[in-house]
Chain A
Amino acid sequence: MKLKTFCAAVALSAVAAAPAFAQDSVKIGFITTLSGPAGYLGQDILDGFKLAMKDGSLGGVPVELMVEDDGLKPANGRQTADRLLYDEDVKLFTGIVFSNVAGATVPDILDADAIYISPNAAPSNFAGEGCNENYFVVAWQNDSLHESAGQNASNLGYKTAFVLAPNYQAGKDAITGFKRFFDGEIVGEVYTQLGQTDFAAEMAQIRDANPDVVFQFEPGGMGIAFMRQYQQAGLLGNIPMVVAEPSMDGVILNALGDAALGINVSSHWNSDFDNDANKAFVEAWKETYDRPITYYASQGYDTANLIASALEATDGDVEDVSALREALAKADFASVRGDFKFGPNQHPIQNWYALKVVEGDDGKPALKTVGTVFEDHGDAYSDQCQM
């Protein structure tokens, strides 16, 4: 293990420009999901993050990214964090995709007075009473993501809904969030298993309940499997679907093709946003990577830029945790979603938009922004935070 980090350090410093020798690299622990059906989520966050790095540095400070795969297992995340905290003296962590891994890993990081910045998972138990001054979230709070879908479904006039999500914290947050803003009736509520890819039983139940609309939160490969089977079961043309962005990200859209046309999606970011930061990001992605762009990548990019702004302000010093914290809280960077600010619990306050899958300019289905669902929307737990 020591050998690997030594080689990585040598390689990084060899690649970095001469001024790098003046400073030690800042170690960033990057624990994420790189394997399994949801592996591309972690890979996209990582690649988006790296896209913001210039010559191996952030904000002019050389950075050593210590990337570890948690394999969607909370135990692995926890062990890795433990090792990085105590054997490698890492003070800054990011990367976790899934809320169950976050639940096992983040408390240890915070206990050790290190800082954690979430590029994706933001379970409700850390947003209210469990908030912590060392804990920042760049993406969104779990519930808010799906509150936007609930509002979208209400705006579209649906009266009854069948809801599905995996049985873990984020899944429960999803259904809670949807219900909070959906003013119709829930005719079916199913918690699937995390990692499940065979939904035959659920399809039968949906057909039996015959709702106006289906809301599902199945991220990554689970989403691809679900949508395919939804189509196969003959439900696609018959029962409309309203989802939030994890269920229809760029990769899922690409895998589904025309089958996805007409689906309503709500999101805090879309590739067609018109600000400078976003245009630069989308172009850089297209040049560097030969795969569809997803909002996970945009979150990785924003996280990197947030860290860059803080490192620049503290001149690369991570030992003074309170100074780093203050610099992070300022959020003084150009986000690809436009304006970015933290709420009182250090989760973002942002707009949410309604998107629709339509035929794009190149004939392939694309996500088009068609309206606004929320403006300056925080989350339901910020009042409970006592920071």
Chain B
Amino acid sequence: MRTSVKIALLIVAAAALIALPIVADAMGEKAFISLATRALIYGIAAASLNLALGYGGMISFGHAAFYGIGGYVVGILSFHYAAGEPLFGVIPGTNQLLVTLPMAMLIAGLFAALIGALSLRTTGVQFIMITLAFAQMVFFLFVSLEKYGGDDGLIIRRTNAFFDFNLRDRETMYYLCLALAALVLVALWRITRSRFGFALVGIRQSERRMAAIGLSTYRYKLVGFILSGMGAGLAGALTANLLRFASPDMLHWTKSGELMIMVILGGVGTLFGPFVGAAVFVILESVLASWTANWQFPLGLILLVVVLFTHGGVQGFVERIVGRRT
């Protein structure tokens, strides 16, 4: 696709996204705003996973752990804020978005560092399984913590405070998520176009070659993994604010599977692909659910067809139509 066409498309898409709540309200479809918000949040999570998976070639089956940890950081901080007692006796609870979001990313990043440091000693299917194992451990850890809701999840009575904005208002939350998604997109664009990004892609294509020219492949992969975990943590924190709820479901391995589905639906290793994939997934889920209670059946079929018969997902499909080979 020629650059000018790409830029034009980008501007149209941005305008549409900014105008979305107004249009939806006018059409009386208020539910659409929540749908779009969820798509944006999942897009952030999928794009983060894509950094590790698509660009870095690390098939992590445990990214739900970072997503869930982000959510629980918000939940636990809110819990201690409401209860008035500090966490571990030292860390005070907080309700400020400007604190909880970075904290969520930080803690998720720390877990990613730990899990990545251990898991990246393996490759191939062992890597897939060990990331799954760690994610399951995190899942069962939170399920066993009665204090923070355990299996039933943690209720967050009030959304985080962000200056004077009321995040319970659908439209405000949407714009916040849109802004953050745009920031994440720009960040990913810079990362993938940087030396680090190219090195990562090189490692995916041939680790041996990159090691031969002197790169410390383990370190590059680990950094990529950590960044990817932080992004997923951000998405989790936003989800906790949107639902005002943090539950072990966010940590379940099927959530990791859903994130991978979004990445592949949109196009592995592409910049916009994960956002498109997330949007497609969320819309499909919604549209199919309104037709039939058995919506997972057509979803499964579509996914199967996409995996078996297309290469490059939706973005690849579009590019092929417009005439550029992937």
Contact = CB atoms under 8 A, between A and B. Distances in A.
Nearest to B29: A2
A86 B153 contact: no
B30 interface: yes
B31 A104 contact: no
A78 B243 contact: yes
A168 B170 CA distance: 32
B247 A2 contact: no
Chain B interface, DSSP helix/strand/loop, else mixed: helix
Contact of B247 (A3, A74, A82, A83): A74
Contacts of B31: 1-2, 83, 87
Contact of B245 (A87, A104, A168, A193): A104
A75 B290 contact: no
Interface in B241-273: 243-245, 247, 249
Contacts of B30: 86-87
A103 to B, nearest CB: 7
B33 to A, nearest CB: 9
A86 B33 CA distance: 12
Interface residues of B, number: 20
B34 interface: yes
A100 B153 CA distance: 9
Contact of A4 (B151, B243, B290): B290
A168 B152 CA distance: 8
A5 to B, nearest CB: 9
A104 B155 CA distance: 7
B152 A1 contact: no
Contacts of A364: none
Nearest to A108: B244
B290 A74 contact: no
A4 B292 CA distance: 9
A253 to B, nearest CB: 29
A33 to B, nearest CB: 14
A75 B151 contact: no
A77 B155 CA distance: 12
A75 B34 contact: no
B249 A1 contact: no
B286 interface: yes
Interface in A65-100: 69, 73-75, 78-79, 82-83, 86-87, 100
A75 B157 contact: no
Interface in A151-201: 167-169, 193-194
Interface string A332-361: 000000000000000000000000000000
Contact of B290 (A3, A73, A104, A194): A3
Contacts of B243: 75, 78-79, 82
Interface in B12-65: 29-31, 34
A262 interface: no
A43 to B, nearest CB: 14
B10 interface: no
Given A1-B289, A75-B243, A87-B30, A107 B157 contact: yes
Q: Counting chain A CB atoms within 10 Å of each CB, which of B29, B155, B289 scores highest?
A: B155
A4 B157 CA distance: 30
Nearest to A99: B152
B153 A75 contact: yes
Nearest to A75: B247
Interface string A38-71: 0000000000000000000000000000000100
Contact of B249 (A75, A82, A194): A75
Nearest to A73: B249
A194 B248 CA distance: 14
Contacts of A82: 243
Contact of B152 (A79, A86, A87, A104): A104
Given A86-B30, A86-B170, A107 B155 contact: yes
Interface in A99-120: 100, 103-104, 107-108
Interface string B283-311: 00010011001000000000000000000
A79 B286 CA distance: 14
B286 A1 contact: yes
B286 A75 contact: no
A69 B293 CA distance: 10
Contacts of A167: 150-151
A1 B247 contact: no
A169 B153 CA distance: 12
Given A75-B245, A78-B245, A103 B152 contact: yes
Nearest to A69: B293
Interface in A356-385: none
Nearest to A79: B243
Contacts of A193: 151
A34 B249 CA distance: 19
A69 B106 CA distance: 36
The 10 A-B pairs of least Cβ separation, nearest first, read: A100-B152, A87-B31, A75-B247, A4-B290, A1-B290, A74-B152, A74-B153, A87-B30, A3-B290, A78-B245
Interface of B: 29-31, 34, 150-153, 155, 157, 170, 243-245, 247, 249, 286, 289-290, 293
Interface of A: 1-4, 69, 73-75, 78-79, 82-83, 86-87, 100, 103-104, 107-108, 167-169, 193-194
18 contacts: A1-B286, A1-B289, A1-B290, A4-B290, A73-B249, A74-B247, A75-B153, A75-B245, A78-B245, A79-B243, A82-B243, A86-B30, A104-B152, A104-B153, A107-B155, A107-B157, A168-B151, A194-B151
Given A83-B31, A86-B30, 7 more contacts: A2-B290, A74-B247, A75-B243, A78-B244, A79-B243, A87-B30, A100-B152
